[in-house]
Amino acid sequence: MEKVSDANMSEFEREIGMTREEDVKTLRNWINCQPHLPDLKDDEETAHWLRNFLFFCKNRPEKAKRNLEHYFSSRSLVPELFGSRDPADEAIAASVKNLYLFPLPRLTPDGCRVHLFSHAVADASAYDADAFMRRALMFLDWKIKEDVTCGDIFIFHMKYSSLAHLGKYNFATLSRFIATVINAYPLRIKSVHFTAAPSFVSYIISNPFITDKIKKRIKVHAGDNFKDLLTEIPARCLPKELGGTIEDSLEALNDAQYGRLLALRDWYLSTRDWKSDEGKRPPELKTNDLFGCDGSFRSLNVD
């Protein structure tokens, strides 16, 4: 896959005032001073992860602290989303077969990565929504660890999506999932596109945990005409199924991404304890500062 060049990365780091070693050390010291947050290994792999996390937060220490607080707390407080962190798990492997979720290999001219979500088949009988949500969070962990870019574009291709798929979700869990993605992962979302969008996509977009800032970046494309999409994203960055020039099939691109998750299996398993210890949380940092009264995340702004 194409990567942001070292020169462009260095230029962006200068723009946000990032000094890698000093900033990572400061962030690690803050984590170590929080009695309820996990003790992270003092090794290069963890330092690399922290550098990337801080980069996605535009080197804003307070934003990074908020995101990390949500990140570690969600892994403790939402076990239905983080209970299994093994990409070789049978349910995860089955999810790969019936739903595509992968990055496109080419970057946009401004250094953004395009990601695609698409059901593989219209038949929803074998669709496991919980497995997909667990897999999606592992995908985002891969993104932070391995794929630093200047921004992210998400395409939800809805050609095979149906109300039967939507009916597979527990909506309390789905709301926690959406809130976790928004509040715990410091994504730099440039735009979100729904292609071949059915009418019920408006229900998804109206979720209260999707901030107004993100809603303004959502574009809905009806039907199979990708002309409007191609005015937003270069054809070289899109698969042929969406009017682009990437020849690899969606299945092949999806399988390649699953291979990347499997290659990180040891890391996923070794970081299962990256979660808060709520029994040690200081009184001034009560859980309801992070969650609403119904147990769902409070909304935070996304840069």
Q: Write out the chain in H/E/C secondary structure.
A: CCCCCHHHHHHHHHHCCCCHHHHHHHHHHHHHCCCCCCCCCCCHHHHHHHHHHHHHCCCCHHHHHHHHHHHHHHHHHCHHHHCCCCCCCHHHHHHHHHEEEEECCCCCCCCEEEEEEEECCCCCCCCCHHHHHHHHHHHHHHHHHHCCCCEEEEEEECCCCCHHHHCCCCHHHHHHHHHHHHHHCCCCEEEEEEECCCCCHHHHHCCCCCCHHHHCCEEEECCCCCHHHHHHCCHHHCEHHHCCCECCCHHHHHHHHHHHHHHCHHHHHHCCCCCCCHHHCCHHHCHHHCECCCCCECCCCCC
Phi-psi region of 7 (alpha: psi -120 to 50; beta: other; left: phi over 0): alpha
Closest CA to 105 of 216, 287, 239, 11: 239
Positive or negative torsion for Cα 69, 258, 191, 160:
negative
Percent over 70 (pLDDT), the chain: 91
For 19, 24, 52, 162, the CA distances from 70, given in Å and listed in that order, are 24, 18, 17, 31
The C-alpha atoms of residue 286 and residue 111 are separated, in whole angstroms, by: 39
Q: Which residues pair with 115 in a beta bridge?
A: 103, 154
Architecture, CATH, for domain 90-263 = 3-Layer(aba) Sandwich (3.40)
Closest CA to 299 of 204, 189, 170, 213: 213
Read off the tokens for 298. Answer: 């409070």
Indicate where the chain has its CATH 3.40.525.10 domain(s): 90-263
Closest CA to 224 of 160, 154, 152: 160
How high is the pLDDT of residue 17?
67
How high is the pLDDT of residue 283?
79
How high is the pLDDT of residue 201?
87
Dmax (CA) for the chain in angstroms is 55
Tell me if 121 sits within 8 A of 99, measured CB to CB: no
How high is the pLDDT of residue 24?
86
How high is the pLDDT of residue 229?
94
How high is the pLDDT of residue 41?
86
How high is the pLDDT of residue 204?
80
Cα 198–199–200 angle (5° rounding)? Answer: 95
How high is the pLDDT of residue 290?
52
Ranges of residues in the chain whose predicted pLDDT is under 50: 289, 291-303
User: What φ, ψ does residue 109 adopt, rounded to 5°?
Assistant: -55, -30
